[in-house]
Every structure is written in structure tokens, then in C-alpha cells.
């Protein structure tokens, strides 16, 4: 069985067909830059373009950077405010002509890691954090998701943690890996005090460079990079297309 997974991010929109039994991508992913302003219609057009590029006709799962309840975006931090109250399932389904299911990007990325990657078989509490334009969070307990956690918006140094410890913050402030690791450690330490997790999984584009900063962290909890690295979002979105 296969489904098309689409990951919508602050800088790019990526998609590929995925084998749902193994989590493998069945073709090279297609990536298109997120349209400026990240408004609903232009994003839906890009989603439709990705669908056409694979001549896809079937189920589609979409990971979106906002809390999503029954297909509706509840808040917008790194995309247009026009998303708030928009039913993403309806918008993407009508733009593509295929049944689309939308979930929070970090929640679905976590789904891929729990099924096939760094969290496979892990009991207890797993906290997955995606470090990109923002910080996405997913919490799994004994393999079950608590959806729509928004721990990128935890307060740190008087502002949202994602403005201090995301990959975008690292690039914007031109932080050295040492400085960034210290910043991230402070954030993870807060998370650790609140959740006492058994495992942290670090995903997002930055996870490709995990060797540069994960060894510099000093935490009680084991920290591992996402096995699917930046593709967890695509694989997880495809898996999410099948959920009830
Ligand atoms: C959003 C989250 C999202 C995260 C990563 C945050 O700004 O509020 O919903 O998961 O960015 O994209």
C-alpha cells in the first residue's frame, strides 16, 4: 500500500509517494519553495502541482505547521494568519481532487519515527522536536500520540522558545555550534523538567548535521537524531493519510 506524503514548511513544500509498510520513499521527493506570505490558496496550488508531478491519484496526507483539529488550522505562527479557521482538508482535497488528511507537521513526523525510525519499539514518553523555521513538538506515550502540543511556544528568555532555539534562530544569529548547543540545551532542559521523557528525538533539516551539536548536549535524557532526518515529515504525512 502507498500514499502520497506532503510536508508543508516555512521555507519549502515537499512531497513523495511512500510505501506504508516500510516507510520508504517510492520516488525522489519534489520540493517547491513555499510561496511568499504562505497564504492558503497559493499553498494549495503548490500542493496540487506536487500531486500532478507524480500523476498521483489516491490518498494524500499533509503535515502542516500549525495545530490542526479535524482538518482546521487553529493558529498560525510561521504561515499567513489567513490559515486560522481554514479547513485544510477541504482546501487541499478540492485543489487536488484527491482525499487529503492534514495533521500537525511535528505530530506526523513523530509518527514516522515511532513506526520505523528512532522511536521504534520505545516505551514510555518520547518527545520529538523538529528544529526548522519554528520548533515543532510531538509527544508519544507507549506509542500513543497526544496531538497538537505546541512546545515551540514555551517561554524562554522572555520570548517563544522557537525564536531562540530553532534552526532559523541559529542561522539568523549566526551562532557557532557550541553557542547553539548551549541554547538548545537550555530549552531541552526545560522540557526535561516538565516531562521527564525517556527519549528525545531531534528532527528537522538541522538533524542532518546532528554530529555537530548533539554530542555537545548535557542532559539526563537520551537524545537521538531522527532516522528519517528531514524526510520524517513526508513519511509521517503519508502514514497519517490512513488514520481515522
Ligand atoms: C507551529 C507548530 C509547528 C512548528 C514547526 C510552530 O511555530 O506553531 O504548529 O509544528 O512551528 O513547524
* pTM of structure: 0.97
DSSP element (H, E) containing 52: helix 40-53
Residue-level pLDDT at 244: 75
d(CA 184, CA 187): 5
DSSP element (H, E) containing 182: helix 177-195
Query: Residue 159 domain-assigned?
Result: yes
CATH number of the domain within which 26 lies: 3.30.420.40
Total structural domains in the chain?
Answer: 2
- Asked whether residue 140 falls in the same domain as residue 222, the answer is yes
pLDDT tens for 75-122 read 999 999 999 999 999 999 999 999 999 999 999 999 999 999 999 999
What separation in Å is there between the alpha carbon of 231 and the centre of ligand 1?
16
Out of 136, 148, 203, mutate this one to test ligand 1's pocket (max ligand atoms within 8 Å of CB): namely 136
Per the listing, cell 479535524 goes with: 70
Residue-level pLDDT at 230: 82
pLDDT tens for 130-142 read 999 999 999 999 9
Query: Residue 58 domain-assigned?
Result: yes
- Asked whether residue 128 falls in the same domain as residue 80, the answer is no
CB atoms within 10 A of CB 242: 12
- Residues 47/62, Cβ–Cβ less than 8 Å: yes
Domain with 137, as residue range(s), is 121-226
Query: Residue 157 domain-assigned?
Result: yes
pLDDT tens for 212-241 read 999 999 999 999 999 998 899 999 999 999
- Asked whether residue 17 falls in the same domain as residue 100, the answer is yes
Q: Which residues pair with 128 in a beta bridge?
A: 138, 201
Residue-level pLDDT at 229: 86
| Ligand 1 nearest atom to the CA of residue 10, by list position | 12
d(CA 106, CA 233): 7
- Asked whether residue 63 falls in the same domain as residue 154, the answer is no
Q: How far is CA 16 from CA 29, 47, 161, in A?
A: 5, 11, 31
What separation in Å is there between the alpha carbon of 74 and the centre of ligand 1?
11
Query: Residue 112 domain-assigned?
Result: no
Pocket lining for ligand 1, CB < 6 angstroms: 65-67, 77-78, 104-106, 130, 132, 134, 136, 150, 152, 162
Nearest-10 Cα torsion for 43, 28, 11, 173: 170
Amino acid at each position: 500500500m502507498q500514499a502520497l506524503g506532503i510536508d508543508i514548511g516555512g521555507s519549502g513544500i515537499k512531497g513523495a509517494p511512500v510505501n506504508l509498510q516500510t516507510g520508504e520513499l517510492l520516488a525522489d521527493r519534489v520540493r517547491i519553495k513555499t510561496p511568499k506570505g504562505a497564504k492558503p490558496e497559493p499553498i494549495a496550488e503548490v500542493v496540487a502541482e506536487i500531486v500532478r508531478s507524480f500523476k498521483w491519484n489516491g490518498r494524500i496526507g499533509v503535515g502542516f505547521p500549525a495545530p490542526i483539529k479535524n482538518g482546521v488550522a487553529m493558529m498560525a505562527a510561521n504561515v499567513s494568519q489567513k490559515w486560522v479557521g481554514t479547513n485544510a482538508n477541504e482546501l487541499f482535497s478540492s485543489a487536488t481532487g484527491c482525499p487529503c488528511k492534514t495533521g500537525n507537521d511535528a505530530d506526523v513526523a513523530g509518527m514516522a519515527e515511532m513506526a520505523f525510525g528512532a522511536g521504534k519499539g520505545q516505551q514510555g514518553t518520547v518527545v520529538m522536536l523538529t528544529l526548522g523555521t519554528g520548533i515543532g513538538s510531538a509527544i508519544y506515550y507507549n506509542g500513543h500520540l497526544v496531538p497538537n502540543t505546541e512546545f515551540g511556544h514555551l517561554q524562554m528568555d522572555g520570548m517563544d522558545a522557537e525564536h531562540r532555539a530553532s534552526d532559523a534562530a541559529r542561522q539568523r544569529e549566526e551562532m557557532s555550534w557550541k553557542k547553539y548547543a548551549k541554547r538548545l540545551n537550555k530549552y531541552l532542559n526545560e522540557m526535561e523538567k516538565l516531562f521527564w521523557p525517556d527519549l528525545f528525538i531531534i528532527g528537522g533539516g538541522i538533524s542532518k548535521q546532528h554530529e555537530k551539536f548533539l554530542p555537545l548536549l548535557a542532559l539526563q535524557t537520551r537524545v537521538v537524531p531522527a532516522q528519517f532526518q528531514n524526510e520524517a515529515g513526508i513519511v509521517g504525512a503519508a502514514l497519517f493519510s490512513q488514520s481515522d
